[in-house]
Amino acid sequence: MIGSTSPRERRAAALLAALLTATGLCGGDVLARGFPFGPRTRDVNDLGNQYVPFHAHLWDLLHGRADGGLLVNWQSGYGSSFLPDLGTYLSSPFAPLVALFPRDEIDLAVYVITLLKAACAGAAMAWLLPRLRPGPWWAAGLLGSSYALCGWTLSYASYNPMWLDGLLALPLLCLVGEWAREGRHRVAGVLIVALAWVANFYTAYMATLGAALVLLLRLWTDGSPRRPALATVGRAALTTVLGVGLAAPLVVTVYAGTLHAHPGRAGDFTPVATENLLARLLPTTYSYASPGLYVGVTALVLALALPFHRAVPVRERAGWTVLVLAVVLSLQWTPTHLAWHAFSAPNGSPYRQAFVVCAVLVCAAWHTLAHGLPDRRALGAGGLLLAVLAAWAYRSRLEHPSYALPVLLLAAAGSL
């Protein structure tokens, strides 16, 4: 196993991940000639009709120019209750940054906030990975950016900026789980849980479930005796309850507002075809109704090679492999799918919990690399699994460009 990772190296990893994430997002918009680097607007559907106007009203509130207040927004239609909207869309710590921009640049403010959230999510994951298992800082930075630039971020969350708070919350909540194992930073842990639930309780719920699964796996792979393991679970549960309790005034307000709101369309979940699910692990594929699971070919190959990497302890190999499979399968089974969404089928994109799968894939890839570079046997097996996966996914009816296969082959060759 590679030696311990120092705090200085973890900071370097976090900075690298943040820079790569911001560069990747901006670079994609430059190539697509999208706002603010070109004429193509981002203000479509909910982003343009809800989220940007909500941020504009927040700007007015912060500058004392709003027609209304925290309770009622008279700038929306004939007037609308604002407190539930504030708790659902604008309670992130990043949202007040909109006040630093001119009133006529709210679009740019939301774009910058989106960049900052994604960059911080990559940095948080890069900081977490060496805590799970010591390893090279540069690899933690690269995998952190792979997580932040996952298919879920690019396909859905970049146009639903409040969901990006969940992307950031997941590695932070996993870090809280590590503190619970060590019995440290109990107050800080409670505050992080509270902040995550205040920022966006919807994705924080999913992130909390994902962090709980990671903690349970960590306790099993480390071979913790039953009594200390139960004590750790108790500390983590108490931290979560206290944190959610601190966030309860906001969460209850949003819940009450939702309960009394005009009912929306009820959604029925239909699992996507297996080949479509697998196709979303690969580059250049897209479908609104399927989960964005892409984390980069390198991270995917490393995750696929984990079961065959003999330098990794058997429990770690088995545990992370089973967790990846279990979380992926939970996307497709209706009871577990509903459990990820608080037992309410989402109206719109159905796979909003896909960022948890991306996080688990990146963590599995990290455990492969943290024990030393895989040998030819492990890489060959991972490459073979990638070929089988790609062949199966090729049956998918998802639209993909003519350069999809060359891109996949080039990325796979570079990874190996």
- CA within 13 Å, CB half, 302: 26
CA dihedral 70, 71, 76, 77 (to 10 degrees): -170
- What are the extents of the domains in the chain? 167-261, 274-415
C-alpha span between 95 and 108 (Å, rounded): 13
User: What are the DSSP calls for 12-71, one per residue?
Assistant: HHHHHHHHHHHHHHHHHHHHHTBTTSSSB----HHIIIIIHHHHHHHHHHHTT--SB-SS
C-alpha span between 29 and 309 (Å, rounded): 38
Q: Answer yes or no: are the C-beta atoms of 52 and 109 closer than 8 Å.
A: no
φ, ψ (nearest 5 deg) of residue 81: -60, 135
C-alpha span between 200 and 251 (Å, rounded): 9
What pLDDT was estimated at residue 264? 66
What pLDDT was estimated at residue 399? 62
Q: Among 139, 122, 125, 169, which Cα is nearest to 25's? A: 122
- CA within 13 Å, CB half, 273: 11
Element (H, E) at 174: helix 164-182
Q: Give pTM, 2 decimals.
A: 0.95
Residuewise pLDDT in 10s, the chain (416 residues): 444 678 899 999 999 999 999 999 999 999 999 999 999 998 888 899 899 999 999 999 999 998 888 888 887 777 888 888 898 899 999 999 999 999 999 999 999 999 999 999 999 999 999 999 999 999 999 999 999 999 999 999 999 999 999 999 999 999 999 999 999 999 999 999 999 999 999 999 999 999 999 999 999 999 888 999 999 999 999 999 999 999 999 888 888 877 777 676 666 788 999 999 999 999 888 888 899 999 999 999 999 999 999 999 999 999 999 999 999 999 999 999 999 998 888 888 899 999 999 999 999 999 999 999 899 999 999 999 999 998 888 877 776 666 777 888 888 888 87
